[in-house]
Amino acid sequence: MLEIKNLHVSVDGKEILKGLNLSVGAGEMHAIMGPNGSGKSTLSYVIAGREGYDITGGRIVFQGEDLTGMEPEVRAAKGLFLAFQYPVEIPGVPNTTFLKEALNAIRRYRGEDELDAMQFVKMMREKTKELGISDDMLKRAVNAGFSGGEKKRNEILQMAVLKPTLAVLDETDSGLDIDALKIVAEGVNKLRSPDRSMLLITHYQRLLDYIVPDKVHVLAHGKIQRSGGKELAMELEEKGYAEFGEAAA
Amino acid sequence: MVASTNTMEQVNDLAEEKYKYGFVTDIESDTAPKGLSEDTVRFISAKKNEPEWLLDWRLKAYRYWLKMEDPEWAKVKFPEIDYQDAYYYSAPKTSGDGPKSLDEIDPELLATYEKLGIPLREQEMLSGVAVDAVFDSVSVATTFKAKLEEVGVIFCPISEALEKCPDLVKKYLGTVVPYTDNKHATLNSAVFTDGSFVYIPPGVRCPMELSTYFRINAKNTGQFERTLIIADKGSYVSYLEGCTAPMRDENQLHAAVVELIALDDAEIKYSTVQNWYPGDENGVGGIYNFVTKRGACRGRNSKISWTQVETGSAITWKYPSCILQGDNSVGEFYSIAITNNCQQADTGTKMIHLGKNTTSRIISKGISAGRADQTYRGLVRMSPKAENARNFTQCDSLLIGDQCGAHTVPYIESKNKSAIVEHEATTSTISEDQLFYLRQRGIPPEAAVALVVNGFCREVLQQLPMEFAVEAQKLVGISLEGSVG
Ligand SMILES: Nc1ncnc2c1ncn2[C@@H]1O[C@H](COP(=O)(O)OP(=O)(O)OP(=O)(O)O)[C@@H](O)[C@H]1O
Ligand SMILES: [Mg+2]
């Protein structure tokens, strides 16, 4: 599904990722942990194709296709989704309008019929119910004035609507209270399927109690330093990143 | 690959959508000799069988105009206009004497309106919208006449109103915008050719939206329409105006005048979607849109509300205003102005508070892209007698790219201590964060920009009647094409 080989990425001339390797199979759930500033969000942006994140070496292959140079909206249409660490506000644009536009843009690209207003509303009703999201949130402008937790939940709603084949969730758990965390985790678990892979970026082992990963990776110094099972997350929770030379960074 | 062909097709479609109104209709027309003189004025007046008083008024305007200077205070640049190099009257030939019914209208012309999305045939019409269509200089059809007559509403070309209700025309014409007002309005007074006339009798709520579509077709022709709307005591009317023109290399002058009069407890809602041809990417061609629009809230508790979506024209010079004369009267101005490429716009409003407890509200959204330049220019005047008058002004500018400009020039004159004037202004850009977020969700850059801009304009778009709001949203996207990437 996703193959990252010897990836080097620079931002403003500064090398952030320095030869990163990662392989995620279809239907797998991988967690990435690592100290602040180690390049986790950078990795998510470069997978999604953000401008200014230059690949200086190596490559990212998604479903057998090299992503280098591909426009972000094309990646999205091919099934790539990024839940942002800091979701962006779009004043004046109702959440539903935005989601309908996004879904239909993707469907158009794939040569599928667009959903009409009725079909869309019906689908939205199901999704919001599943995720415990109020109708009010759909009418409000995208993320504008949303609380931190609401923004994160809105990201999961978008994922549920767009049904990606690969979702990168960048710290979707941070800022959530216990109840919200459970709802979000449940939402993510419901979306797990044999043909959907997920990359879960998190700082907390807590999330992994709810969403059990197939693999855990430690990102530091621009590389994956260690990979393991769920027990690796426990170990990190205890010892921190000292082993990787980043204690109290 | 199927997917990429699709996108190519979309791109082509978009490119064509760009100015889909840019076609020319091949119609024989009846045209006045080129140039401007007393003879031109007499020619127009004679063509329309006008009463003596109107010809005199036109001539007074013409003679006054000869001595006037171009207004120079606006922040727009253009070569001097050669008034002798234009035609001041052009009528589709078949309808020289004015059509009596739809069947008498040239089928070519009907086809043109269909292309523009204004079906004139009543059976095809959106229910509840009556249309008066002005093609070059004459009004070609007014639909739904009978239904309106039932409730006593008069909605017809102004030339017809001169026959039907000359006293009303005589009583109100030029009382809001006098022929001495400004050079463009004065020229209009001298040579105006047609336009719509509306009278709503006391206590009548007009049963449908009234709408005029203006179209400049003939080459080198100026369009000088004049609209006069009178809402008598306790009446209500909502009026829509749309405009398009073919693509031409030369600049065409459009100098319209709109006068609104609201008597006691009456309300007029006037909406415009202006999409005149803006010229090409390099600023060649396009309409000079020099328009004087003014409403007088003459009666107590009267209300006039202007909503405008200005996306077209090479140059827009326009300040729909309200004179708040009646006590407790209300003036509103909601505006979206979009300038792209080399377009220039200097637009805004004037709220003149004369009566007690008068209130006004100004919401202006300016979007500038490419190398375009635009200015919001607004005057709020609280006269000595305007006890407890209030104004709220919000001016927001959105810049796309780094070569465009936006300026806000608010003038506030307060001569009454009890009056309150509030002014808020913001300038923002579409952030890279927003664009990336939308693109990550699958929305291509141009659609993403259109979405953000529509969000930015929402407060104003919401003021438009439904059918217009949808059209306006699409227009916002089309006008900004080529502004990213
Ligand atoms: N535009 C930029 N210019 C310069 N440096 C940048 C830029 N964007 C990111 N960086 C740097 O890249 C490094 C990695 O940042 P990144 O956001 O990927 O870290 P992270 O692992 O997601 O951290 P956190 O856990 O705090 O979210 C940081 O040192 C950051 O300062
Ligand atoms: Mg991060």
What is the per-residue pLDDT across B377-397, written as a single tens digit (0 to 9) for each? 999 999 999 999 999 999 999
Distance from C-alpha of B96 to C-alpha of B108, rounded to nearest angstrom: 15
Q: Is the ipTM of this complex over 0.90?
A: yes
Please provide the distance, in angstroms rounded to a whole number, between the alpha carbons at the two ends of chain A: 33
B436 contacts on A by Cβ (under 8 Å): 48, 50-51, 72, 88
Contact A109 B433 (CB under 8 A): no
What is the reported pLDDT for B87?
72
Beta bridge partners of B262: B231, B297
Mean pLDDT of the region B159-169: 91
What is the reported pLDDT for A79?
96
Burial class (CB in 10 A: 0-12, 13-18, 19+), B101: exposed
Judge whether B447 and B477 are in contact, CB under 8 Å: yes
Question: How would residue B12 be classed by pLDDT, with cut points 50, 70 and 90?
Answer: very low
Q: Alpha helices, DSSP H only, in B155-253?
A: 158-164, 166-172, 183-191
Task: Walk me through the domains of chain A, giving residue ranges and CATH numbers.
Answer: 2-248 (3.40.50.300)
| pLDDT over 60 at A67, yes or no | yes
- Ligand closest to Cα of A16 equals 1
| pLDDT over 50 at A178, yes or no | yes
Q: Give SS3 for B483.
A: coil
| pLDDT over 70 at B135, yes or no | no
| pLDDT over 60 at B139, yes or no | no
What is the reported pLDDT for B31?
67
Judge whether B227 and B257 are in contact, CB under 8 Å: yes
Contact B441 A102 (CB under 8 A): yes
The model carries a pTM of 0.82
What is the reported pLDDT for B221?
54
Q: How far is the CA of A26 from the centre of ligand 2 (A)?
A: 24
Q: How far is the CA of A38 from the centre of ligand 2 (A)?
A: 8
Contacts of A50 (CB under 8 A, 6+ apart): A72, B436
| pLDDT over 70 at B32, yes or no | no
| pLDDT over 70 at B451, yes or no | yes
Q: Give SS3 for B466.
A: helix
What is the reported pLDDT for B143?
59
Question: How would residue B317 be classed by pLDDT, with cut points 50, 70 and 90?
Answer: confident
Contact A81 B7 (CB under 8 A): no
| pLDDT over 60 at B13, yes or no | no
Distance from C-alpha of A155 to C-alpha of A210, rounded to nearest angstrom: 18
Mean pLDDT of the region B296-313: 92
Mutational pocket test of ligand 1: of A36, A38, A173, the residue with most ligand atoms within 8 Å of the beta carbon: A38
What is the reported pLDDT for A243?
79
B458 contacts on A by Cβ (under 8 Å): 92-93
Distance from C-alpha of B444 to C-alpha of B452, rounded to nearest angstrom: 12
Residue of B nearest to A101 (CA): B443
| pLDDT over 80 at A14, yes or no | yes
Mean pLDDT of the region A109-118: 92
Mean pLDDT of the region A132-150: 89
Contact B441 A90 (CB under 8 A): no
Distance from C-alpha of A190 to C-alpha of A171, rounded to nearest angstrom: 18
Residue of B nearest to A82 (CA): B440
A102 contacts on B by Cβ (under 8 Å): 438, 441-443
Strand boundaries in B354-437, DSSP class E = 359-368, 373-382, 390-399, 405-414, 420-429
Q: Give SS3 for B252.
A: strand
The pocket around ligand 1, CB under 6 angstroms, is made up of A 11-12, 14, 16, 34, 36-42, 85
Contact B452 A97 (CB under 8 A): no
Q: Give SS3 for B173.
A: coil
Instruction: Look over chain B and give the mean of its residue pLDDT values, rounded to a whole number.
Output: 80
Q: Give SS3 for B31.
A: strand
Judge whether A140 and A98 are in contact, CB under 8 Å: no
What is the reported pLDDT for B30?
64
